[in-house]
C-alpha cells in the first residue's frame, strides 16, 4: 500500500498539519495539505501546503523566503493529522507567521483577554513586497 493511502483525508481531500520547530519544539503553525502537497513535501524536503483561501498549493516561503526544511514527518494514531518537524529558514530567529512573528500562536488568554506575547521580528510590509 502507498504511504499516502494510509492517511485519512477529510471530505475535501485535506489533512490537518502541525509544523513544530526542531530543537525548541515550538509549535509554529497549523495548515492543511492535500495529497499532492504531502507528496511534494516528502519529495522536496520542504513544506508545501494547500491554501484554502487561494485554492492552490503553497510552498511555504515562496513569497517571504521563510522556508520550512522538513526533518521528519509523523502521522498521528488515528492517521488523520500530520506533524512536521521543521527548521524555519530565512530569518534568525525563524519567522513562520505572516505577521512577522516566530509562531502563529502569539496570543495567550490572560484575564479573559487575548494578549500578544511574542514580538514582531520583521515588519510584514518588508516581508511581502
Quick one: three-class SS letters along the chain? Answer: CCHHHHCCCCCCCEEEEEEEECCCCCEEEEEEEEHHHHHHHHHHCECEEEECCCCEEEECCCCCCCCEEEEEEEECCCCCCEEEEEEECCCCCCCCCCCCCCCCCCEEEECCEEEECCCCCCCHHHHCC
Express each pLDDT in 6-50 by its tens digit.
999 999 999 999 999 999 999 999 999 999 999 999 999 999 999
User: Predicted confidence band at 3 (pLDDT cuts at 50, 70, 90)?
Assistant: very high
Q: Is the pLDDT of residue 69 over 90?
A: yes
Q: Is the pLDDT of residue 128 over 80?
A: no
Domains in the chain, CATH or no CATH each? 3-92 (3.10.20.810)
pTM for the whole thing?
0.89
Amino acid at each position: 500500500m502507498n504511504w499516502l493511502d494510509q492517511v485519512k483525508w477529510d471530505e475535501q481531500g485535506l489533512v490537518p498539519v502541525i509544523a513544530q520547530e526542531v530543537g525548541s519544539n515550538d509549535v509554529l503553525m497549523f495548515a492543511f495539505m492535500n495529497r499532492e502537497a504531502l507528496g511534494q513535501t516528502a519529495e522536496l524536503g520542504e513544506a508545501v501546503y494547500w491554501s484554502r483561501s487561494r485554492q492552490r498549493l503553497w510552498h511555504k516561503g515562496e513569497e517571504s523566503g521563510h522556508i520550512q526544511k522538513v526533518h521528519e514527518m509523523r502521522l498521528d494514531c488515528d492517521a488523520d493529522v500530520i506533524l512536521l518537524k521543521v527548521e524555519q529558514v530565512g530569518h534568525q530567529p525563524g519567522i513562520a507567521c505572516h505577521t512577522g512573528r516566530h509562531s502563529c500562536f502569539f496570543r495567550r488568554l490572560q484575564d479573559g483577554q487575548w494578549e500578544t506575547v511574542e514580538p514582531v521580528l520583521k515588519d510584514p510590509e518588508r516581508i511581502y513586497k
